[in-house]
Amino acid sequence: MALTNEQIQNKLAEKFGEEVSNFSEPFGMLTFEAPKELNLKVLQFLYDDETLKFRFLTDLQAVHYPNDKGRELAVVYHLHNLVDNVRIRFKIFTDINKPDVFTATQLFATANWMERETYDFFGVNFLGHPNLKRILNVDEMDYFPMRKEFPLEDQSRVDKDDEMFGRGGTIN
């Protein structure tokens, strides 16, 4: 009996109650979020539970939503249950002024470089990471380039604003 999204959702709701929320299934992949303090508890539960068995961290990255006050940065985990072949997506949101998130390196060795990359580009501060320093950018860099306040174009160009890209007016 293969694992269904409904079963996963019920299991999570049973364990964490109201803490896990915003369940949806874009393109069939169960997506939900939890408070950032609970990220390790949720990951550990998903890892340990004998029916869920989400023991493969496919990917980890961040997304910047500048207009969402208090939850500007999302950290997204893609997890995979290789036995039942089910993927889920798990998100936590954090304030950009205090982007402290617990590290998943104790659970997944692979999170090491993924978190370094996320720190490098978005400035998410992974608490407890063994070696949190820049990985792809130069060490001297003093900003986090993937945040939306850094536009790609030359600052002197006025013609290439967001309206050109279907997003109306100023930086969203």
Partner 1 sequence: MSDVQNILLPEGSIEKKTITLNVGPTHPATHGVFQNIMEMDGERVMSAESTVGYIHRAFEKLAERRPLYQITPITDRLNYCSSPINNIGWHLTCEKLLGIQTPKRVDYLRVILMELARIADHLICNSIVGVDTGAFSGFVYLMEYRELIYEIYEEICGSRLTTNIGRIGGFERNFTPVAWQKLEKFLKEYPKALKEFENLFTRNRIFVDRTVGCGPISAERALNYGFTGPNLRAAGVDYDVRVHSPYSSYEDFDFIVPVGTTGDTYDRYLVRNVEMWQSLSIIEQAYQKIQNIKGADAEVYHANVPEYYLPEKKDVYTSMEALIWHFKIIMGEIEMPKGEVYHSVEGANGELGYYFISDGGRTPYRLHFRRPCFIYYQAYEELVKGSMLSDAIVVMSSLNLIAGELDA
| Residue 134 C-beta: closest distance to partner 1, Å | 8
- Toward partner 1, which CB reaches closer, 72 or 117? 117
- Under 8 Å between Cβ of 75 and 118: yes
- Toward partner 1, which CB reaches closer, 11 or 87? 87
Q: Length of the chain in residues, anyone?
A: 172
| Residue 93 C-beta: closest distance to partner 1, Å | 14
Tell me, what DSSP letter sits at residue 131?
T
Radius of gyration, CA atoms only, the chain: 18
Q: Which DSSP helix (H) or strand (E) runs through 59?
A: strand 56-64
- Measured from the Cβ of residue 121, the count of other Cβ atoms closer than 10 Å reads 19
| Residue 11 C-beta: closest distance to partner 1, Å | 21
| Residue 171 C-beta: closest distance to partner 1, Å | 12
Tell me the one-letter amino acid at 166.
Answer: G
Interacting residue ranges for partner 1, rule: CB under 8 A: 26-27, 29, 31, 55-59, 61, 63-64, 76, 78, 82, 85, 87, 89, 108-110, 112-114, 117, 121, 134-138, 145-146, 152-153, 160, 162, 165-167, 172
Residues 6+ apart with CB under 8 A from 97: none
- Toward partner 1, which CB reaches closer, 14 or 138? 138
- Measured from the Cβ of residue 42, the count of other Cβ atoms closer than 10 Å reads 23
- Toward partner 1, which CB reaches closer, 95 or 171? 171
